[in-house]
Amino acid sequence: MSAIFITTWKEAVRKKTFVVMGAVTLLYLVFWAVMLHYFLQSSQERGMNDAFMSLASHMITQMGLQFSSMLMALLTVMLGAGAISAEVESGVILSIVTRPVRRFEYVLGRFLGLAALACVYATLLYGLILALGAVFQISTVTAMSFGQIASGWIYYLLIPVAVLCVTLFGSTILKTVPNGLLIIFVYILGNVGGMVEMVGNYIASKSVTAAGIFVSLISPFNTLFTGMEQRLLPSNGLAGELMRGASGLAGGGKPASAAMYVYIAVYMIGFLAWTVWRFHKKDIT
């Protein structure tokens, strides 16, 4: 399994997809730094009061984290969509499974290799986003404690790992492009579910809120992002009131229950186990 892990890592790094997404990420970080520069400059020139400055800092930090999370999920989907299907289509898989490598070891090796790469990428991106915020003295970032940053980092890492569990399963039943499109749709669906839940809480409609929760069960990725957000960003002041009253600027501002996080753990393990079972039954001749 270790050989599959190393091979998967090397293959992913050499792919043009990884190089292109690395360049896109670099451009995003440059854009983020420029935006923070002009935000700080504008706030000083206009003399924003503390309450409005706190809200603006909250929103810009949230925006930076949310777009970085989307980039991270997109990279994971693009690398994982063909992790199994591409090798089956090309026939490369035949030269692998004929060796003394059991099928479950192959699947777990592919998963661990891609998950490790996604986590390294996510850690660098997360660290750079917060480091730039600290350099430009964004109040929401400078106020974060080490404990907040560490717990937020764990939630941030879980997002690509959860996306990968579903993507890898899709790779056993669909070809690369259809699988990638489907997983991207499922990921977007999670953000829609958060917005539906936000609207339901805002208008005090249990049916609308339930619909948003149901969508989040299908696509729980936004729940993980919201969990990270609640640990990193303040819950007091004007920004905190908006989060509590309108369920957050990205939806789902109320903390998820412990049962929801247990469900997400089962969701991830279940899809990974399903992938192993599905590949074991797959005819690759």
Q: What are the pLDDT digits (tens) for 208-229?
A: 888 888 998 999 999 999 899 8
pLDDT at 239: 52
The string of DSSP codes covering the chain is -HHHHHHHHHHHHHSHHHHHHHHHHHHHHHHHHHHHHHHHHHHHHHT--HHHHHHHHHHHHHHHHHHHHHHHHHHHHHHHTTTTHHHHHHTHHHHHHTSS--HHHHHHHHHHHHHHHHHHHHHHHHHHHHHHHHHTT-HHHHT--HHHHHHHHHHHHHHHHHHHHHHHHHHHHS-HHHHHHHHHHHHHHHHHHHHHHHHHHHTT-HHHHHHHHHHHHH-THHHHHHHHHHHHS--SHHHHHHHHHHS-TTS--SPPPHHHHHHHHHHHHHHHHHHHHHHHH----
Give the pTM.
Answer: 0.89
pLDDT at 87: 85
pLDDT at 49: 61
pLDDT at 273: 96
- For the chain, domain boundaries: 2-281
pLDDT at 251: 42
pLDDT in tens, the chain (285 residues): 788 899 889 989 988 889 999 999 999 999 999 999 988 888 777 766 666 777 788 888 988 999 999 999 999 999 999 999 888 887 777 777 666 778 888 999 999 999 999 999 999 999 999 999 999 988 889 999 999 999 999 999 999 999 999 999 999 999 999 999 999 999 999 888 888 887 887 788 889 888 888 998 999 999 999 899 888 886 555 555 555 444 443 444 567 888 999 999 999 999 999 999 999 888 776
pLDDT at 77: 96
